[in-house]
Amino acid sequence: MAKATIKSPQEVGLMRESCAIVAEVLRLIKGMIRPGVTTQELDRVSEEYIRSRGGEPAFKGYGSDRHNLYPASICTSINDEVVHGIPAERAIQTGDIISIDVGVKKNGFYGDGAWTFHVGNVSAEKARLMKVTEAALYEGISKARAGNHVHDISSAVQQHVEQEGFSVVRDLVGHGVGKSLHEEPAVPNFGKPGTGMILQPGMTLAIEPMVNFGTHKVYFDADGWTVRTSDGSPSAHFEHTILVKDGEPEILTI
């Protein structure tokens, strides 16, 4: 069975630095979200800020296919794009929702976080999708306590989302994070309580509900990165890196 890495207090201290930069970038982006701004501009500002704080953009150059490594510093996923949207000269428009996913490496450790923003006034449906997805993240985080199981997190996310009539993406998962951007354990957004790896103090997890307005089914775009909803409905994505403790978990990307 795969094993999770337990971080020492010193290692957690290093992770706090990378996670703090993630949170700062998301706050910076929040102040830039307005109609007409291009996703490429958001990417440029994010990379400049990450490097100014002594970090590296974790996503840039990431991937298993050396012929198609991720080309940008952040992921910018608009409307029916679930995750991994590539920044370009595309301008965001009033009524869009846009997920910004940020990864930072500093001192050999990673932080990972995401937020979905609304551009101007959005439909009531999109606003409720965002609200439910964010709430599902915190439902999941509340279960990330030592002695619980990974799928206690998964089940909490799934139950909250499905009782609101939305669906969780099943082909993509949250994950452990630390010296690598993706570590064990996988943290699905659906599952049976009381199953999966037992959580221990010192584990660090990236919990990230990806929630679709319609079907849970998704597909990869021709670029090999962008994931879209199969039915063209909107999707929202929220993510925090958290530290498992004996009591209440600690959110590091805040």
pLDDT one-digit tens code per residue, 65-120:
999 999 999 999 999 999 999 999 999 999 999 999 999 999 999 999 999 999 99
Q: What residues contact 136, with CB distance under 8 A and at least 6 apart?
A: 156, 157, 160, 161, 168, 189, 209, 211, 238
Residue 1 reports pLDDT greater than 70 = no
pLDDT at 2: 73
Residue 76, helix vs strand vs coil: strand
Q: How far apart are CA 177 and CA 213, in angstroms?
A: 28
Residue 194 in tokens: 């009381």
Residue 8, number of CB atoms within 10 A of its CB: 9
Q: How far apart are CA 127 and CA 251, in angstroms?
A: 24
Strand partners, 78: 98
Amino acid at position 114, single letter: A
In this prediction, residue 3 has a pLDDT band, given cuts at 50, 70 and 90, of confident
Query: By the 8 A CB rule, do 250 and 243 touch?
Result: yes
pLDDT one-digit tens code per residue, 150-159:
999 999 999 9
Q: How far apart are CA 27 and CA 158, in angstroms?
A: 27
How far CA 1 is from CA of 4, 101, 178, 185, 196, in Å, comes to 10, 29, 19, 10, 10
